[in-house]
Amino acid sequence: MQTALALVAGALVAANLISILLAGRRIAARRSKAPPLAATPPVSIIVPARGVEAFTPETVRHALRIDWPDYELIFCVADTDDPIIAEIEKAAALHPEIPVRILTGDDRISANPKLNNCVKGWRAARHDWVVLADSNVLMPPDYIRSLLSAWRHDSGLVCSMPIGARPEGFWAELECMFLNTHQARWQYAGEAVGQGFAQGKTMLWHKPLLNAHGGIQALSAEIAEDAAATKLVNRIGRKVHLVALPFEQPLGRRKAQDVWARQCRWARLRRVTFPALFVPEILLGALPPALTATAVALIGGVGPLPLVGGVLAGIYLPEIALAAAKGWRLSLWSLPAMIVRDMMMPAIWIRAWSGASLAWRGNRMTIGTDACELEEAPALR
> What is the four-CA torsion angle of 138, 318, 191, 127, rounded to 10 degrees?
10
Quick check: 360 pLDDT over 70? Answer: no
| Phi–psi pair at 363, nearest 5 degrees | -105, 135
User: Distance between terminal CA atoms of the chain?
Assistant: 62
pLDDT digits (tens, 9 = 90+) for 272-288: 999 999 999 999 999 99
* Percent of the chain surpassing pLDDT 90: 85
pLDDT category, 266, cuts 50, 70, 90? very high
Classify domain 30-255 at the CATH class level. alpha beta
Cα(360)–Cα(180) distance, integer angstroms = 21
pLDDT for position 379: 43
Per-residue DSSP letter, 138: B
> What 3-state DSSP class applies to 205?
strand
CA torsion 83-88-89-93 (nearest 10°) is 150
Report the alpha-carbon distance of residue 251 to residue 260 in Å, rounded: 15
Q: Which of 17-31, 50-64, 307-321 bottoms out in mean pLDDT, i.e. has the lowest?
A: 17-31
Predicted confidence (pLDDT) at residue 378 exceeds the cutoff of 50: no
pLDDT at 38: 87
Radius of gyration over alpha carbons of the chain, in Å?
21
When pLDDT is cut at 50, 70 and 90, the band that residue 313 belongs to is very high
- Burial (Cβ within 10 Å: 0-12, 13-18, ≥19) of residue 217: middle
pLDDT 10s digits, 9-49: 999 999 999 999 999 999 987 666 777 888 999 999 999 99
- Pairing relationship of beta strands 357-360 and 239-242 according to DSSP bridges: unpaired
Q: How far does Cα 325 stand from its chain's mean position? A: 20
Query: For residue range 143-197, what is the model confidence (pLDDT) as tens digits?
Result: 999 999 999 999 999 999 999 999 999 999 999 999 999 999 999 999 999 999 9
Predicted TM-score (pTM) of the model is 0.90
- Residues 193-211 pLDDT 10s: 999 999 999 999 999 999 9
253 near 175, Cβ under 8 Å? no
Pairwise CA distance, residues 161 & 241, whole Å:
11
Q: With a cut of 70, say whether residue 249 has pLDDT above it.
A: yes
User: Would you say 25 and 108 are in contact if contact means Cβ atoms under 8 Å apart?
Assistant: no
Half-sphere exposure of 10 (CA within 13 A, CB side): 7
pLDDT band at 380 (very low <50, low <70, confident <90, very high): very low
What are the distances in angstroms from CA 211 to CA 235, 241, 263?
Answer: 15, 19, 32
Q: What is the mean pLDDT of residues 117-127?
A: 96
| Residue 286, pLDDT score | 97
The dihedral over CA atoms of 326, 328, 333, 337, expressed in degrees to the nearest 10, equals -90
> Where does the pLDDT of residue 225 fall: very low under 50, low under 70, confident under 90, or very high at 90 and above?
very high
Q: Distances from the Cα of 274 to the Cαs of 166, 231, 265, in angstroms?
A: 31, 10, 14
**d(C-alpha 287, C-alpha 356), whole Å:** 26
Closest CA to 117 of 231, 216, 261, 229: 216
What integer pLDDT is reported at residue 361 of this predicted model? 52
pLDDT (average), residues 219-239: 95
What angle is formed at CA 106 by the lines to CA 101 and CA 107, rounded to 5 degrees?
110
Q: Where does CATH 3.90.550.10 sit in the chain?
A: 30-255
Residue with the larger pLDDT of the pair 378 and 260: 260
CA distance 361 to 377: 9
Task: Report whether pLDDT(319) > 80.
Answer: yes
Is residue 256 scored above 80 in pLDDT? yes
Distance between CA atoms of residues 286 and 16, nearest Å = 9
Contact status, residue 100 vs residue 77, Cβ threshold 8 Å: no
pLDDT (tens digit, 9 = 90+) per residue, 69-117?
A: 999 999 999 999 999 999 999 999 999 999 999 999 988 888 888 999 9
